[in-house]
Amino acid sequence: MTFENPSPKGALLGFALLLVSIEFHCHSSDGQANDSSPPNIIIIYTDDQGFGDTSSLNPDAKFQTPNLDRLAKEGISFTNAHSPDTVCTPSRYGLLTGRFCWRTEKKSGVLGAEHACLIRNRQMTLASFLGDNGYDTAMVGKWHLGMDFPGEPGQRDWQKPVNDMPLDKGFDYFYGVPASLNYGVLAWFENRFAKVPPTLFTAKKNNNRHSDYRIQPPYQRSPEATQQALKKPGMEVAPDFIDNQCLTKFTDQAIQWMSERSKASKQKKPFFLYLPLTSPHYPVCPLPEFWGQGQCGGYGEFLIETDHHVGRILSFLKKSGMDHNTLVIFSSDNGPENSWKNRIKEFGHHSNHHFRGGKRDIYEGGHRVPLFARWPAGIKNPGRQWSRVIGQVDLLATFAELLQSPLPENAGQDSQSFASVLIDADSQYKRAPLINHSAKGQFSITHGDWKLILPHRKSPGELYNLNADPGEKRNVIAQQPEVTKRLKAKATEIVVQGRTTPGIAQANDTGYWNDLGWITRSKYEAQAIPVN
């Protein structure tokens, strides 16, 4: 099934009509009325940043993040926002498609650098939707959803293009790296080609600022030479690649691309920039000018550097005159890496704040993440917090509502718009039950104050009242059989119907799988739409 979208002209008109219909009269800081053109949209997506790794959300943080705090002060701080999963690949899939990744073939874990892209050709993404509605689109940063490189490792033909990558999923422009740095094929890719091809090899090296590793020269000419030098298998790397240059290069390139859009502003064409950064994911490698800042070692320094680059984006928007009508959304792909435990002992810093667990875990620390939205022209009563549940998977439907460009039945199946929260300070928005998912394939469902962690293999179910027990310390499943029954039935419905939102049932990409331990195979096969 294919889908069509309204013309750019129709979508922009729809946006203007929406603003009129809700009596949306915004004013800039100098008191001049703002026009009703659609906003530029920027999504800044960090990697493994916990809820407690921003100073506005964690008053006891051992480092300050003034630019992230500015987003909260001048916009909305969503204190109950969730990544679609607890590791990189599935969260990025959910963010970009509005559909949970566990509906695909990828039921657990992450991809490497080289793999068939999880986003199917012609599947709607944030980029394709906004592009069809008149936007220029760019992705700058870490992809981690699969790419098709020319040839095999050690026998590449880098004169040939990379395929099945961001340019094939709705983006007009791409600059970045294929995946997390530990997976190799490391080069500064621009569109379909590496600026300098990854013809050398390397492996992880000791990191003197953190308990992880570095990816830095010298590099070897073969995997065998890397094995001999570092006692580890070699992964592909370009001669000019250095891990600590990622944040600077990505921010530089993002600003350059936006600057080109600014010079063409007479065309009144909005832009969408997806900026997934590589920090604070390993390797934790802050630049020397940030050493010694904060009170949380190299990790704190790395987040201070990250905050600095967010500030560079905000400064550019102000100087270019695009600040007022640009919607900036900042969030993280999952909770903090396991080193969060050592930071508590060594520095007294809680990357997961008061939540339980971290990256890979089904508990709140694995998927409750910082999420800020700033849009001077659009957000009513900035500086407020929103404490009800939302998901990153909801961004596609939110943008669709802002543009008054309805999604087709086979797109954004798990995406529910929270646009009213942005433009109405008195919004009574309540999300449908939200599914979360762990790196090992375990499910949970949250509705209102209740969170049910569903049985998974040898792990029994657990039930928590998050309002009374945000740290998930008191499992009350034995005391609340009716709540458990209701949430289990809703989770079953969301899985077998192929969607969270109302509409025509959709097929998941596979049949029954073993992580659905609370649903029998026969029940699943009786209710689910057969795989196409």
Q: Is 415 helix (H, G, I), strand (E, B) or coil?
A: coil
Q: How many domains does the chain have?
A: 2
Asked whether residue 140 falls in the same domain as residue 23, the answer is yes
Specify if 67 maps to a domain.
Answer: yes
Cβ–Cβ < 8 Å for 47, 278: yes
Specify if 186 maps to a domain.
Answer: no
Asked whether residue 453 falls in the same domain as residue 413, the answer is no
Identify the bridge partners of residue 40 per DSSP, sorted by sequence position.
326
Which pLDDT value is given to residue 532?
78
Specify if 236 maps to a domain.
Answer: no
The helix or strand, by DSSP H or E, that contains position 249, with its residue range, turns out to be helix 246-263
- Tokens at 513, concatenated: 């799988």
Per-residue three-class SS string for 186-207: ECCEECCEECCCCCEEECCECC
Contacts (Cβ under 8 Å, ≥6 apart) of 390: 78, 80, 81, 82, 371, 418, 421, 431
**What is each CA distance from 520 to 235, 302, 507, 526, in whole angstroms?**
42, 46, 17, 10
Compute how many other C-beta atoms are within 10 angstroms of the C-beta atom of residue 477.
15
Domain CATH number, residue 523: 3.30.1120.10
Compute how many other C-beta atoms are within 10 angstroms of the C-beta atom of residue 493.
14
Domain CATH number, residue 50: 3.40.720.10
Asked whether residue 343 falls in the same domain as residue 454, the answer is no
Specify if 515 maps to a domain.
Answer: yes
Asked whether residue 418 falls in the same domain as residue 464, the answer is no
Q: What tens digit of pLDDT does each residue of 408-434 get?
A: 999 999 999 999 999 999 999 999 999
Asked whether residue 454 falls in the same domain as residue 399, the answer is no
Determine the structural domain holding residue 449 and report its residue range: 442-527
The helix or strand, by DSSP H or E, that contains position 90, with its residue range, turns out to be helix 88-97
Which pLDDT value is given to residue 16?
38
Per-residue buried b or exposed e for 328-366, using 16+ beta carbons within 10 Å of the residue's own CB: bbbbbbbbbbebbeebeeebebbbbbebbbbbbbbbbbb
Asked whether residue 305 falls in the same domain as residue 446, the answer is no
pTM: 0.94
Asked whether residue 109 falls in the same domain as residue 31, the answer is yes
Asked whether residue 488 falls in the same domain as residue 408, the answer is no
The residues of the chain scoring below 50 in pLDDT are: 1-34
Asked whether residue 396 falls in the same domain as residue 479, the answer is no
Identify the bridge partners of residue 434 per DSSP, sorted by sequence position.
446
- Tokens at 92, concatenated: 């990025």
Alpha carbons 26 and 20: distance in angstroms, whole number: 11
Specify if 218 maps to a domain.
Answer: no
Cβ–Cβ < 8 Å for 417, 394: yes
Asked whether residue 250 falls in the same domain as residue 328, the answer is yes
Last residue of a domain, one of 356, 388, 423: 423
123 closest CA partner among 103, 144, 150:
103
Asked whether residue 379 falls in the same domain as residue 280, the answer is yes
- Tokens at 473, concatenated: 């310390």
- Tokens at 104, concatenated: 């695909």
The helix or strand, by DSSP H or E, that contains position 155, with its residue range, turns out to be strand 155-156
Cβ–Cβ < 8 Å for 145, 89: yes
Specify if 383 maps to a domain.
Answer: yes
Alpha carbons 348 and 51: distance in angstroms, whole number: 15
Asked whether residue 405 falls in the same domain as residue 447, the answer is no
- Tokens at 290, concatenated: 């940030």
Specify if 437 maps to a domain.
Answer: no
Contacts (Cβ under 8 Å, ≥6 apart) of 481: none
Beta-sheet strand order (sheet of 443-447): 434-437, 443-447, 450-453, 462-465
Specify if 88 maps to a domain.
Answer: yes
Cβ–Cβ < 8 Å for 83, 91: yes
Alpha carbons 368 and 5: distance in angstroms, whole number: 33
Alpha carbons 465 and 125: distance in angstroms, whole number: 34
- How much is the CA Rg of the chain, to the nearest whole Å? 22
Which pLDDT value is given to residue 376?
98
Cβ–Cβ < 8 Å for 372, 326: no
Long-range pairs for 295-298: beta carbons < 8 A, 24 or more residues apart: 295/62, 295/63, 295/347, 295/349, 296/61, 296/62, 296/63, 296/343, 296/347, 296/349, 297/209, 297/210, 297/343, 297/346, 297/347, 298/207, 298/209, 298/210
